Amino acid sequence: MSKLDRRIVITGLGVVSPIGCCADSLWQSLEQGSSGIGPLQRVPPDHLKSKVAGEALGFSGSIDDFGELDKKTKRSLKKGLKLMCREIQMGVAAAQLALSDSQLSPEVYDAHRIGTMFGSDYIITEPTEFIRSVKNCLDENHQFDVNQWGERGISQVEPLWLLKYLPNMPASHVAIYNDLRGPSNSLTVREASANLAVAEAATIIGRDIADYMVVGATGSRIHLLRTLHVSLQESLADASDPRYGNQPERASRPFDKDRGGMVLGEGAGSVILESLETAQSRGAEILGEVIGYGSTSVADRAGVADYQQAFKNVLTRVLESAEITPAELGHINTHGLGTLRCDREEALAIREIVGEQVPLVSLKGHMGNLGAGSGLVEMNASLLSLKQGKLFRALNYDTPDPDCPVNLVTEGDVDPGKVFINLSMSMQGQASAVAIRKFQ
């Protein structure tokens, strides 16, 4: 991150998650130590190893989930919901909640000076989109005849079906429904996307290309096909493991010796970034200031990620970018995936770069892995900790792992400090981090 000509602050939050669908409910769940992980409901679990998930059950996809809206926006958005799959709906809802929280409206901003930046996973079409098309191509033996697809199948596909699943659509919808005519971009770097979206948006404002940016990220591991992909590719926790006592809420155990893998999740988060001068001129509540960021990707020629080196690289870069020392850190919001290898390598990297004294927090024990959405929900949690003056405790950290040295927060009322780092990692070894300071 090069030195910017302007200071960039955060003035609004929005969240859709398994432990709350607004900032207040998120903080209440964290303060109470509540878990959003339970039996998997939205995908048939019969043939899956893991039958638990962190589902955003409080999000129905109705217009009421999108916060306070003026009549025109509410009417237009309600019509547009049918062109959004669940992941996109969650992302748009989080952004609308952040806009409302920041009290930003067309009366406040110049439409040409406010943009959107969104991170997401790749978004998979629901198989049900093609039921009519496939049925129309069955032969007399009820077998699918591919030769009929061009003439009889494709004509039965909804003309706008693809718009429901394109990963650039969250940013597009937010820009269209709020008349945001500034810079717009979409990043698909899996779990690393959220921090990268914040970093790019901060750079845009810092270079005076815009005054405000609506930044969000949305993701899901809960989907008929995506869940199958994850089950085949990644290490998942099994709640039926006797160590967890058949209790779904105990399955996600970041950094614990008895961790057995990650838990499926879904959700989205958003923040409003703006220049310090615009925030102060309109009397906005300032929740934090973006002071640095870092990114890296480390894998061998076979594509196997080196998590430890990636975590080391990104921590070094974010500290340099923010021009701070480890002694100035109040806490780190860890990736804390819950797998044996990733947690161990993250812990070793943190110890090497920042030492053993910095408090660490982890949200995935509360909600599982939300994919691209995780990073911004986690950032929201740390921003709320700065506001409340205390950190939340990690769930399910019962037995320390000698091979995984961490100073994990397990008690309430720990001081969050004045600076935190938000840390994320993809399965492919793409790491990202953002440093945020309490505004003063």
What is the C-alpha separation between 230 and 50, in angstroms, rounded? Answer: 10
- Same domain? For 138 and 176 the reply is no
Whether 28 is covered by a domain: the verdict is yes
Report whether pLDDT(210) > 70: yes
Residue range 51-106, pLDDT digits in tens: 999 999 999 999 999 999 999 999 999 999 999 999 999 999 999 999 999 999 88
Overall average pLDDT of the 275-279 stretch: 97
Do 155 and 183 belong together in one domain? Answer: no
pLDDT at residue number 4? 65
Instruction: Flag whether 1 is in a domain.
Output: no
Range of the structural domain that residue 142 is part of: 127-162
pLDDT category at 1 given cuts 50, 70, 90 is very low
pLDDT for res 240:
81
Please name the residues in contact with 188: beta carbons below 8 A apart, sequence gap of 6 or more: 119, 120, 121, 122, 167, 372
This prediction's pTM: 0.95
* Same domain flag for 204 and 220: yes
Q: How many CB atoms lie within 10 A of CB 404?
A: 20
Residues 151 and 44 in one domain: no
Judge whether residue 402 has pLDDT over 80. yes
Among residues 162, 182, 208, which one ends one of the domains? 162
Last residue of a domain, one of 162, 183, 215: 162
Band of residue 3 on the pLDDT scale cut at 50, 70, 90: low
CATH number at residue 65: 3.40.47.10
Whether the predicted pLDDT of 5 surpasses 80: no
Residues 270 and 315 in one domain: yes
Whether residues 142 and 83 share a domain: the answer is no
Q: What is the mean pLDDT of the chain?
A: 94
Give the whole-number percent of the chain exceeding pLDDT 70. 99
Whose structure tokens read 């059950």?
57
pLDDT confidence of residue 48: 84
Q: What does the pLDDT average to over 375-385?
A: 98
Number of domains in the chain: 2
Contact 2, 19 (CB under 8 A): no
Tell me if 22 is assigned to some domain.
yes
Tell me, yes or no, whether 254 lies in a domain: yes
Same domain for 119 and 31: yes
Picking from 141, 162, 183, the residue at the C-terminal end of a domain is 162
One domain for residues 198 and 345:
yes
51 and 175 inside one domain: yes
Confirm whether 2 is domain-assigned.
no
**328 and 304 inside one domain:** yes
The 10s digit of each residue's pLDDT in 304-335 is 999 999 999 999 999 999 999 999 999 999 99
Same domain, 364 and 313: yes
- The 10s digit of each residue's pLDDT in 212-239 is 999 999 999 999 888 888 888 889 998 7
Predicted local distance difference test score (pLDDT) of residue 241: 83
The C-alpha atoms of residue 253 and residue 241 are separated, in whole angstroms, by 13
Q: Let me know whether 89 and 195 are in one domain.
A: yes
pLDDT given for residue 225 in this prediction: 87
Question: What phi-psi label fits residue 185: left (phi over 0), alpha (psi between -120 and 50 degrees) or beta?
Answer: beta
Q: Residue 288's CB: how many other CB atoms inside 10 A?
A: 25
pLDDT tens-digit series, residues 34-51: 999 999 999 988 888 889
